[in-house]
Structure 1
Amino acid sequence: MSTVLPEGLRDWLGAHAPALNDGSANDEALLPALASAGLFAIGVPESFGGAGGRTGDAVDAIAAVAEHSLAAAFVFWGHRAFIEYLLASPNAALRERRLPALLDGTQAGATGLSNAMKFLCGIESLQIEAVREGEGWRLDGKLPWVTNLRKSGFVCAAAVSSRDGEPPFIVALDHDRPGVRRSADLDLIAMRGSNTAALSIDDVRIDAADVIAGDARDWLPRVRPAFLALQCGMSIGLARAALSAAQARCSSARATLQDALDAVGDGLARQVVALHDGLAAGRFVADPVALFRLRIALADTVQRAVQLELQASGGRAYLVDPQFGFARRLQESAFVPVITPSVTQLEGELLKRAQQTARAA
């Protein structure tokens, strides 16, 4: 289960991966590069202008990009997650209006729903509030961490609570809507070419045409499997890259690592199969715990793979050599456990559910 990237894109990602990580790249060029390879259309029905296939195919595509650059895969994930929201939206007019520019990469899509996924698990409250105003709403709040807020323009999904007793709902916010303000890029230690920033929402007016889903509590559990599975593609690709590098550098002097390499590789393969099977069968909607466990397991696989690359590389891994790639992958691997929902948050949710089950027994 893998996607073969066009040679031109592989070369481009290989050449730009260090700069995408340290922020010295032209981050405006990334989205068109991914779009020109047709990646955003993967898993999108042909009737909506896509290439067909399933969400699992999009997971494979993100994994393929992550083998070359996690920053590029992070942007891909955020953009493709927004596309998934439109595919799951009952607002057909919004989908028809937005999808073409998202599929061809002329507009950036940002998920903005990390806060909402934590809200769904009871970890935190929604950070944007709506007040009814005629046929629409007035919004105020902030999203402290959103990826793919492209400086030349973006549309961002956000979850909104209602001060008027309505259910929380999901909206699409344009970069140029009055009251929407993007901060400077966050000062990340890596992945700096991902256009990650905070978003302030001050007295922003919207109406029904901007609503992706009218009831977040009903809609979020149905899109959460895609949100997390697409995110897992990042871990899969990074783990594969580290294992491949470790295998290539595993000289006869380090042959003792081979059993560990085989074990981690076999475990990764099983995790990928479980992810695809669960997505295809639709099991993760009713059983999110299984997906939480897979996300945690894949994060652990990434850490083990990167450590094996370090051991296989020896002292060379500690030299400054951007083309060698280890230092970048080490930085990238540090990001995997903290992507929302973080491994700690997921483990807390598993513990809470276990305690609830024990009390009910």
Structure 2
Amino acid sequence: MLRVLRMRADSDGPSGFDAMLQEVRAAAARDLAPLVRRIDEECLYPEAPLRSFAAAGAFATHLPVAGRADLGGAIRAAAEAGEHCLSTAFCMWCQGALAFAVACSDNAALRADLGPRLASGAVLGGIALANPLKTFAGLSRLSLAAERVAGGYRVSGSLPWVSNLGPGHRFAAVFERPAGRVAMTVLSCDAEGVQLVPPGRLLALGGTRTYTVKLQNVLVADEDLLADPIEAHFRRIRAGLLLLQAGMALGLGRACLRLMRDAAAPRSLVNGQLALQPRALADRLDALEEEVCLLAATPFETDPVYWRRVLEVRLALGELAVEAAQNALMHCGSRGFVGDGEAQRRLREAAFLAVAAPAVKHLRWMLAELQC
């Protein structure tokens, strides 16, 4: 743990991420690549690769120091995993997002206790983002409600689609307090009254330990609150949470680019007729990565124009991921339609990026609302 935290303290901008990224790249080839088919077909949870990435510092470099943070290293680390497997890259986002939310909290005791354990991977977990994002955009209502009790709250409700969970894992959740105030807390999957319900077989990302989380009178102690009320805390972390998702799309896009280039030699004449060509995809990925890294260097920026750019780049990444995966399959031709081939898996994974919170349709809604 000390090694991971020291690496975070020594990092200074993109150059400080190099050693971590080299270790993540090596771990992805060594520990993740041999498991990809089992993760996809058998819904294997990639715990061993996640622990390796944690040891490399992948969940520590983006955490704030002296009020500043640069998310570029965490985004690039997730992209390295995403080139092999989107399930694993998504679990990395879950872990990194939870660590970021805790590190940005005003709860000093929680930061000091749980924060380092999340950064080092000693504790794994996720964050229930979909429901509050839609609620704060005016598209839904909070799914969790609480009543005040001595020393905290009793929280009940149901949260669909919370990932990277399991025994000993933690997750952040948002609930409505009496009198309409909203708070955020960190819960244990082992807490009394917490039930994890499998959602059934998913089209992709079945290895992410995604559940519907049901809470029945779960005790939330005051000392476990990340934010109460939540508004200032959520404004502080919202850009970072969305930007950290960029690694998934960038990694998947690179994998699709590789598939297209590998298919070019035997099919160069006919593949030239397809709408998206490797050079164009590479240029678009480079441009989006440049924008992501620029935004990631100042995740606490409060200018409304900055927030718009975050939404726009997240939307562009989700849409490009689907376009790249569709075209990669077509570049591969009949080989892309083989059930155990990579191209069809990438297309299924890309569909997740189009519907994951915030979904493409929700991002378009949020951008439209900004214009009102």
Q: Normalising by structure 1, what TM-score?
A: 0.89
SS at match of 1:159: strand
- The amino acid across from 1:156 in the alignment is F
1:153-189 per-position Cα deviation (integer Å, ceiling 9, x unaligned): 2111000111234x20100111122111111354212
Any residues of structure 2 matched to 1:168-317 within 5 Å, and which?
A: 168-184=182-198, 186-251=200-265, 252-254=268-270, 256=272, 260-282=277-299, 285-287=302-304, 288-317=307-336
Distance 1:42 1:184, change over 3 A: same
1:44-101 per-position Cα deviation (integer Å, ceiling 9, x unaligned): 3579xxxx97212111111111111000001000011000001110111001111233
> How far is the alpha carbon of 1:228 from its aligned partner?
0.4
- The amino acid across from 1:174 in the alignment is S
Cα distance in 2 for partners of 1:309, 1:106 equals 38
Cα distance in 1 for partners of 2:362, 2:28 equals 35
- The amino acid across from 2:123 in the alignment is Q
Cα distance in 2 for partners of 1:255, 1:184 equals 41
Q: Is 1:326 aligned to residue 343 of structure 2?
A: yes
Distance 1:271 1:6, change over 3 A: closer
> How far is the alpha carbon of 1:27 from its aligned partner?
4.3
1:94-151 per-position Cα deviation (integer Å, ceiling 9, x unaligned): 011112332332321211122111122111111111111123111111111100012x
Cα distance in 2 for partners of 1:198, 1:250 equals 43
Which shifted more, 209-218 or 26-35?
Answer: 26-35
> How far is the alpha carbon of 1:333 from its aligned partner?
0.8
SS at match of 1:83: helix
Distance 1:255 1:143, change over 3 A: closer
> How far is the alpha carbon of 1:29 from its aligned partner?
3.1
SS at match of 1:123: coil
> How far is the alpha carbon of 1:198 from its aligned partner?
0.9
SS at match of 1:198: strand
Cα distance in 2 for partners of 1:8, 1:207 equals 38
User: Gapped runs of 5+ residues in structure 2?
Assistant: 1-13
User: Gapped runs of 5+ residues in structure 1?
Assistant: 357-361
Kept in 1: contact 2:193–2:216 (CA 8 A): yes
Q: Which one of 92, 102, 108 corresponds to residue 86 of structure 1? A: 102
- The amino acid across from 2:316 in the alignment is A
* Cross-structure match for 2:155: 139
Q: Is 1:336 aligned to residue 345 of structure 2?
A: no
Cα distance in 1 for partners of 2:75, 2:88 equals 14
- The amino acid across from 2:170 in the alignment is V
Kept in 1: contact 2:69–2:298 (CA 8 A): no
Q: Which one of 170, 177, 181 corresponds to residue 155 of structure 1? A: 170
* Cross-structure match for 2:72: 56
% identity of equivalent residues: 29
Distance 1:253 1:284, change over 3 A: farther
Cα distance in 2 for partners of 1:57, 1:119 equals 30
1:240-289 per-position Cα deviation (integer Å, ceiling 9, x unaligned): 11012211221233462697321221112111111221232447643322
Q: Normalising by structure 2, what TM-score?
A: 0.87
Cα distance in 1 for partners of 2:311, 2:222 equals 33
SS at match of 1:272: helix
Paired residues in the alignment total 348
SS at match of 1:228: helix
Cα distance in 1 for partners of 2:247, 2:195 equals 30
1:177-230 per-position Cα deviation (integer Å, ceiling 9, x unaligned): 211111135421211110000111111112221101112222212101111001
Q: Which one of 35, 55, 59 corresponds to residue 40 of structure 1? A: 59
Kept in 1: contact 2:62–2:100 (CA 8 A): no
Query: Runs of 4+ in structure 1 displaced over 6 angstroms?
Result: none
Kept in 2: contact 1:108–1:148 (CA 8 A): yes
1:287-309 per-position Cα deviation (integer Å, ceiling 9, x unaligned): 32221111111112112222332
Any residues of structure 2 matched to 1:348-359 within 5 Å, and which?
A: 348-354=365-371, 356=372
Which shifted more, 69-78 or 248-257?
Answer: 248-257
Which shifted more, 312-321 or 249-258?
Answer: 249-258
Distance 1:36 1:280, change over 3 A: closer
Q: RMSD of aligned C-alpha atoms?
A: 2.4
